């Protein structure tokens, strides 16, 4: 069992993801497994020449990976740092390791070797299919000094699971949790998720729905200091604006009525545009 699995490819984005993972593991006394992929070079000529190039590529990639692992351990000596050079499709490699991990961490963009150039390739595919939470880190974000974690709530089973995960994460790190419910008149939110048009729906109804959800999920359990906020706005915009000064956004993989393996439209927008790390929480496992 590994605490955090993080994919690296030499890009700045993946390096920032690794730094985020190492800091998080250091705070909680966990361990980190660093994965790096290599690709067979396109080589003409004899088989012997190909074999020499193959060995050189693997050797160089392994040396770079070992150096990265050593740097992480030097910077965070309390963290157990493992590394693995993998062959094959990067999504498959990450998902296989995720099955025995607590968390997967990736950069929002890569250099084309492991994480791909755009969110929507490997990062989005792993966020869609990972059995464990996935944190996508955009840019250089050492936000450990920030005090708030913002979790988006919509009443779905997935967002309730996200609330429980966010509460545990914030509690363990001494952060203040903000549970945010965005609503509108066309799909007003109730405790069990969005309903059809209700002309008499008010902000008080949204506040009551949020109170019920938080009580259902966290009542009687250890929880951090928590604030409950509602806003009449589009969910993705509301979450990103509220979390502009937060250290982490937490969202469920999909909302009510979405296919279990899909990333909902709100989560997809947040992944593409948020300026702080985003944790995507999968649907709860079946008992």
pLDDT of res. 286: 56
E strand or H helix at 189, and its extent? strand 189-190
pLDDT of res. 45: 47
Residue range 148-281 in CATH 1.10.10.60: no
pLDDT of res. 43: 43
pLDDT band at residue 108, thresholds of 50, 70 and 90?
confident
pLDDT band at residue 88, thresholds of 50, 70 and 90?
confident
Mean pLDDT of 57-70: 86
pLDDT band at residue 283, thresholds of 50, 70 and 90?
confident
In the chain, where are the structural domains located? 2-137, 148-281
pLDDT band at residue 258, thresholds of 50, 70 and 90?
very low
pLDDT of res. 241: 97
**DSSP letter assigned to residue 220:** T
Confirm if 123 and 106 have CB atoms less than 8 A apart: yes
Identify any residues that bridge with 280 across adjacent strands, giving them in sequence order. Answer: 134, 251
Confirm if 251 and 115 have CB atoms less than 8 A apart: no
Q: What CATH number does domain 2-137 carry, 3.40.1000.10, 3.30.1370.100, 3.40.50.620, 3.10.180.10?
A: 3.40.50.620
What is the DSSP pairing of strand 101-107 with strand 80-86? unpaired
- Taking the CA atoms of 232, 236, 239 and 242 in sequence, report the sign of the dihedral they define: negative
Residue 72 has pLDDT above 90, yes or no: yes
The structure tokens listed for 40 are 């067979």
**Residues ≥6 apart with Cβ < 8 Å to 201:** 183, 185, 188
Going by C-alpha positions, the residue among 183, 95, 169, 79 that lies closest to residue 131 is 95
pLDDT of res. 134: 97
Mean pLDDT of 260-275: 81
Residue 4 has pLDDT above 90, yes or no: yes
Per-residue pLDDT reduced to its tens digit, 19-50: 999 999 998 888 999 998 775 544 444 455 55
Per-residue pLDDT reduced to its tens digit, 193-215: 778 788 888 999 999 999 999 99
> What are the Cα distances from residue 109, in Å, to 124, 137, 165?
10, 9, 25
Confirm if 38 and 57 have CB atoms less than 8 A apart: yes
Identify any residues that bridge with 119 across adjacent strands, giving them in sequence order. Answer: none
Q: Give the whole-angstrom CA distance, residue 241 versus residue 269.
A: 13
- Domains 2-137 and 148-281 fall in the same CATH topology: yes
More confident residue, 172 or 119: 172
Going by C-alpha positions, the residue among 156, 146, 157, 155 that lies closest to residue 249 is 146
pLDDT of res. 39: 58
Mean pLDDT of 222-242: 91
Q: Give the whole-angstrom CA distance, residue 206 versus residue 197.
A: 14
Identify any residues that bridge with 37 across adjacent strands, giving them in sequence order. Answer: 86
pLDDT band at residue 229, thresholds of 50, 70 and 90?
very high
Residue 118 has pLDDT above 60, yes or no: no
Confirm if 256 and 287 have CB atoms less than 8 A apart: no
Q: Give the whole-angstrom CA distance, residue 212 versus residue 223.
A: 16
The helix, strand and coil proportions of the chain, stated in percent and rounded to the nearest 5, come to 40, 25, 40
Going by C-alpha positions, the residue among 281, 283, 274 that lies closest to residue 108 is 274
Mean pLDDT of 222-249: 92
> What are the Cα distances from residue 228, in Å, to 102, 176, 277, 285?
27, 11, 21, 26
Mean pLDDT of the chain: 84
More confident residue, 139 or 31: 31
pLDDT of res. 171: 92
């Amino acid at each position: 069992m590994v605490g955090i699995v993080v994919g690296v490819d030499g890009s700045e984005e993946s390096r920032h993801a690794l730094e985020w993972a190492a800091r998080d593991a250091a705070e909680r006394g966990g361990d980190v497994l660093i994965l790096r992929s290599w690709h067979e070079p396109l080589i003409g000529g004899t088989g012997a020449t190909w074999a020499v190039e193959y060995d050189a590529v693997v050797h160089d990639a392994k040396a770079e990976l070992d150096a990265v692992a050593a740097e992480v351990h030097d910077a965070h000596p309390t963290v157990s740092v493992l590394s693995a050079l993998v062959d094959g499709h990067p999504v498959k490699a990450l998902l296989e390791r995720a099955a025995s991990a607590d968390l997967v961490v990736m950069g929002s963009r890569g250099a084309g070797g492991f994480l791909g150039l755009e969110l929507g390739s490997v990062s989005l595919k792993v966020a869609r299919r990972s059995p464990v939470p996935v944190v996508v880190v955009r840019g250089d974000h050492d936000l450990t000094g920030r005090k708030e974690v913002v979790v988006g709530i919509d009443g779905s089973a997935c967002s309730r699971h996200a609330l429980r995960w966010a509460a545990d994460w914030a509690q363990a790190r001494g952060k203040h949790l903000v549970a945010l419910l965005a609503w509108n008149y066309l799909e007003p939110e109730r405790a069990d998720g969005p309903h059809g048009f209700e002309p008499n729906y008010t902000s008080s109804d949204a506040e009551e729905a949020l109170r019920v959800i938080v009580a259902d999920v966290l009542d009687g359990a250890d929880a951090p200091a928590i604030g409950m906020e509602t806003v009449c706005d589009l969910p993705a915009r509301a979450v990103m604006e509220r979390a502009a000064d937060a250290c982490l956004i937490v969202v469920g993989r999909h909302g009510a009525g979405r296919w279990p393996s899909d990333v909902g439209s709100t989560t997809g927008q947040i992944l593409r545009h948020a300026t702080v790390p985003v944790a995507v929480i999968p649907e709860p496992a079946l008992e």
